Chains A and B, each alone.
Chain A
Amino acid sequence: MSIVRAVDITTRFGDRVVHDSISFEVEEGEIFTVIGSSGAGKSTLLRELIMLERPYSGNIEVLGRDILSMDEPQAKDFSKNWGVLFQSSALFSSLTVEENITLVLKEHAGLDGVFAKELAGYKISLVGLPSFAASLYPGQLSGGMKKRAALARALALEPSLLFLDEPTSGLDPISSRGFDELILSLKGALGLTFVIVSHDVHTVTDISDKIMALHGGEIVFLGKPQDAVADKHPFLKSFFDTK
């Protein structure tokens, strides 16, 4: 079953065409990575999939539902079905890590008290953070810890689909590989589907099941990472040459 199905997506900023009628599908349980030069509309595409922006034309189905025809209350309700990790982590800075997670549990599932804290503690441990991190504020965390905490928050309602925008940007190579491993282990443990926007060559080649390369408003590659490495397109060649 395809988890995300996008058909003929066209996006425009004024006269500039960002996506020129692109189509793709994300299958259940796969790690789908979107790559592309900066300004190629990777993040915009992600924002369209999570209903923060609307494409100029086209159709998007997520988890079998047409998200572009939803009205606002439906959209609000439906967004519980996925988790999002933003590039800048976007943790609520006046709440502790634990409160960032219990807030979601309280608002969307009505869970509170010790049970919510226990559940939050489990998610915090699951993403590989030490237990003392629960009572820290985002301002007190390192970059890598922030990303992990934001992932724990994205996992709060345990959605089957996660969107990650540049999960390893701003992290050192060791933390980046640690984060890649975390993504793989979560996929195995909880059976999650990931849609990742990345420019990290390692994330692309080591953990992705399928990659999509955007260049000049079009999909220049869609397939397995090992085929992408061998592809002759100038963008892909330069992307993998930097390795």
Chain B
Amino acid sequence: MVEETVFVAQNNDDVLRITLLGEWSTPTLKSKMDALNSTVNSASVCRVRIDFSNLTSLDSASALFFKGLKQNNAKVRLLGFSPKARSLFRLIVRHTRAKSEYNDTIKRTVLDSLGYRVHSKISDFLSYAEFFGRLIIYSKGLFKGRNFRLRSVVKHIETSSITALPIVALSAFLIGVVVTYQGALQLERFGAAIFTVDLAGISITRELAPLLTAVVIAGRSGASYTSEIGVMKITEEIDAMRAMGLSPYYFLAFPRILALTFTLWLVIFFADAVAIMGAMVVAKLQLEISYSEFLDRLHTTLALKHILVGVLKAPFFAFLIASIGIFRGLQVQKNSESIGIMTTHSVVNSIFAVIACDALFAVMFTRLGI
């Protein structure tokens, strides 16, 4: 686009005369403003006269700019208003406040933001505790009347456990492969190749399969709980439920929590089996341990307690994942950004909670000598 002339400036006898030309409108205002400001600043005169009489059009933003110019420098005079421009200036005066009221946003220091973060973590934890408390209170009425919703529980068993089986299977198989492969490389050097079976069997059933399954489910089902409930929060469905005297705890929270708590141990057991299959395949290829040899060795070393230890953790993991997912969903505010933030928090928090819980169990079982 050709640069159009937007004003003509004449400088004589300490007076800068500016005649405005053409159209002054918001989309192209920036460059015109800059040009006019630099002309006025470089002229170094004490009086400026701005003539509006040759303007084709003027909009509010431009008028606001000239009004501001007047305030910056006491010697600016605006003249030659058309009736339309005059009414526009009146409108501006009526609808603007002192410039100082629009001053820049308050700046936070590092200490401020640290304080805010710590405060929000603590209050998050306290509200989770409150949510947990409410779950316990409501659980007393769970089996009264129609509060227990079997249909809903079954639906969530399908969406959060059964449909998760393929991805759990794939991940578990690969973990079995990786653990056995790494173990085999090390143990083969000592001629203790057969102990790979012990290593894989025990580490998979006790720790790896439960933890891996919990992480996959947290990323999959935990995130979906948060976003489902978050959207319901935004569309006021949860408020509607409350207003109709239907409890979101019985409708939304318990079916999800129960579904996951009832079934996660089965998913973990399934992951145990698939991971051991992965281990068997690698053992045969890498160490030439045949399937029957592998199973024989597994039978003698893998005590039932190892499988039970892994599976026993499942309900705890499940409760943490489901309750954190729902809790974060209920925290969603009425804006689209907050769903993203809360879903992220939900996944991060539940994975951390699962790992912390697992560590606690590890210490406990070791102390108990199991």
Contact = CB atoms under 8 A, between A and B. Distances in A.
B34 to A, nearest CB: 10
A191 B85 CA distance: 12
A158 B26 contact: yes
Contacts of B96: 118, 121-122, 125
A178 interface: no
Interface residues of A, number: 30
Contact of B335 (A111, A117, A123, A138): A138
Interface string B318-336: 0000000000000001111
Determine chain B's interface SS by DSSP, over half rule: helix
Interface string B18-52: 00000001111110000000000000000000000
Given A118-B102, A119-B60, A122-B96, A111 B30 contact: yes
Given A118-B64, A121-B96, A126-B91, A139 B103 contact: no
Interface range for B: 20 to 34
Given A122-B95, A125-B96, A93 B102 contact: no
Interface string A174-198: 0000000000000001110000000
Interface string B96-130: 11010111100000000000000000000000000
B29 A114 contact: no
A105 interface: yes
B3 interface: no
A126 B60 CA distance: 11
A110 B27 CA distance: 8
B338 interface: yes
B74 to A, nearest CB: 19
A153 to B, nearest CB: 13
B65 interface: yes
A131 interface: yes
A138 B337 CA distance: 13
Contacts of A137: 333-335
B92 interface: yes
A115 B103 CA distance: 10
A93 B27 contact: no
Contact of B65 (A105, A115, A125, A189): A115
Contacts of B338: 94
B368 to A, nearest CB: 50
B239 to A, nearest CB: 12
A16 to B, nearest CB: 29
B228 interface: no
B162 interface: no
Contacts of B30: 109-111
Contacts of A80: 27
Interface in A79-117: 80, 93-94, 105, 108-111, 113-115, 117
A189 B94 CA distance: 12
A162 interface: no
A125 B26 contact: no
21 contacts: A80-B27, A93-B334, A93-B335, A93-B336, A93-B337, A105-B26, A109-B29, A111-B26, A111-B61, A113-B104, A115-B64, A115-B68, A117-B102, A121-B96, A121-B102, A126-B91, A138-B334, A139-B335, A157-B26, A158-B60, A190-B60
Interface of B: 25-30, 59-61, 64-65, 68, 84, 87-88, 91-92, 94-97, 99, 101-104, 333-338
Given A93-B336, A137-B335, 5 more contacts: A80-B27, A113-B104, A119-B61, A126-B60, A158-B25
